Amino acid sequence: MSDKEILIEVTDLKKSYQVTKTNSLEVLKGLSMKIYKEDIVSIVGKSGAGKSTLLHILGTLDKPDSGKVVFEGQDVFLLKEKQISEFRNKKIGFIFQFHHLLPEFTAIENVMIASMISGEPDRARAEELLIEVGLKDRMEHKPSELSGGEAQRVAIARALVNSPKLILADEPTGNLDTENANSVTDLIFGLRDKYKQTFIIVTHNEEFAKNCDSIITMKDGVVDV
Ligand SMILES: Nc1ncnc2c1ncn2[C@@H]1O[C@H](COP(=O)(O)OP(=O)(O)O)[C@@H](O)[C@H]1O
Ligand SMILES: [Mg+2]
Evaluate whether residue 170 is within a structural domain.
yes
Q: Tell me how many domains the chain contains.
A: 1
- Span 22-50, pLDDT tens digits: 999 999 999 999 999 999 999 999 999 99
Examine residue 15 and state whether it is found in any structural domain, yes or no: no
Q: Is 119 left (phi over 0), alpha (psi -120 to 50) or beta?
A: left
Per-residue pLDDT tens digits for 131-174: 999 999 999 999 999 999 999 999 999 999 989 999 999 999 88
CATH of the domain at 194: 3.40.50.300
Quick one: which atom of ligand 1 is closest to the CA of 49? 22
Domain that holds residue 175: 38-63+79-219
Distance from C-alpha of 126 to C-alpha of 192, rounded to nearest angstrom: 17
**Residue 32 within a domain:** no
The answer, yes or no, to whether any atom of ligand 1 lies below 6 A from the CB of 49, is: yes
Is position 3 within any domain? no
User: What is the position in ligand 1's atom list of the atom closest to the CA of 19?
Assistant: 4
Nearest atom of ligand 1 to the alpha carbon of 54: 17
CA of 24 to the centre of ligand 1 (A): 12
Please report whether residue 25 resides in a domain: no
pLDDT at position 103, please?
96
Mind listing the pLDDT tens digit for each residue in 180-191? 888 889 999 999
| Residue 119 confidence (pLDDT) | 74
Residue nearest to atom 16 of ligand 1 (CA): 50
Judge whether 98 lies within some domain: yes
Say if CB 143 and CB 110 are below 8 A apart.
Answer: yes
Residue 219: what residue type?
K
Within a domain: 6: no
Q: What is the predicted pLDDT for the residue at 201?
A: 97
Whether 192 is in a domain gets the answer yes
What is the distance between the alpha carbons of residues 61 and 79, in angstroms, rounded to a whole number?
14
